[in-house]
Amino acid sequence: MPGTGGSGAVTRSTLRQQIADALRDEVLAGRLQAGQEFTVKEIADQYGVSATPVREALVDLSAQGLLDAAQHRGFRVHAYTLDDHRGMIEARSMITDGMFRSLADGSAVSTDQPRALAALAGVRRRGEEAARAAVAGDLNILIGYDLRFWRELSGLFGNAYLADFLHRMRVQSWVCTVQHLRRVTDLKGHLWSGHTELVDALTRREPEQAHALVTAYNAHSLAVVERLAAG
């Protein structure tokens, strides 16, 4: 029956996304580490599902740059380098600078309209949670709120393609940095916590201040990773 087939497709698609999300979280949590290899069967057995949605999820994560296909061996977690991290920061900056100018001059969304102000207030609440987690040194909670913060902030820009690209860059950046940050037993004072200051600068239509905050954040992030990578 057509209805049954459609339902099955939706179920498989949902399972595929759930597996991809779960594996991405495993990488971000450091439980799947750079260079670690695994097969479709191992993941299917771990989650108690068939091989098809697992294979599709792994292919999706490979397309996102988080996994590499290991010929005749399955997949491995992609190992990012410091040069990769520098490139990600540059790419992120090109996107965010354009977003900040558009949000400030009203060409994307006017920040003095009630709906826009309400949206910014919601983003700020995500920023408050992210900042609290950063100050406390709670990396797992920070990553979740940070990704949601930037996802919602970029959504105000009105260009879904750029928002998706920025989200992918931020996920890859976190995957790149967690392999170093996980070696630090106490992360208090190591993590950027300027999310709310950034939202406040955009609310005041100050793209230069927003740019300065993100530039400082990028410099801080790179310095931390370089220091940890050097041992």
pLDDT tens across 101-113, in order?
A: 887 666 555 555 6
For 70, phi then psi, to 5°, come to: -100, 110
* Per-residue pLDDT at 36 exceeds 70: yes
* % of the chain at pLDDT higher than 70: 90
Mean pLDDT rounded to a whole number for the chain: 87
Q: Tell me the pLDDT tens digit for each residue of 49-102.
A: 999 999 999 999 999 999 999 877 799 999 999 999 999 999 999 999 888 888
The predicted pLDDT at position 111 comes to 54
Q: Tell me the pLDDT tens digit for each residue of 161-195.
A: 999 999 999 999 999 999 888 888 899 988 999 99
- Amino acid at residue number 4: T
All structural domains of the chain, each given as residue ranges with its CATH number in brackets, are: 2-77 (1.10.10.10), 82-229 (1.20.120.530)
Report residue 226 as tokens: 């370089």
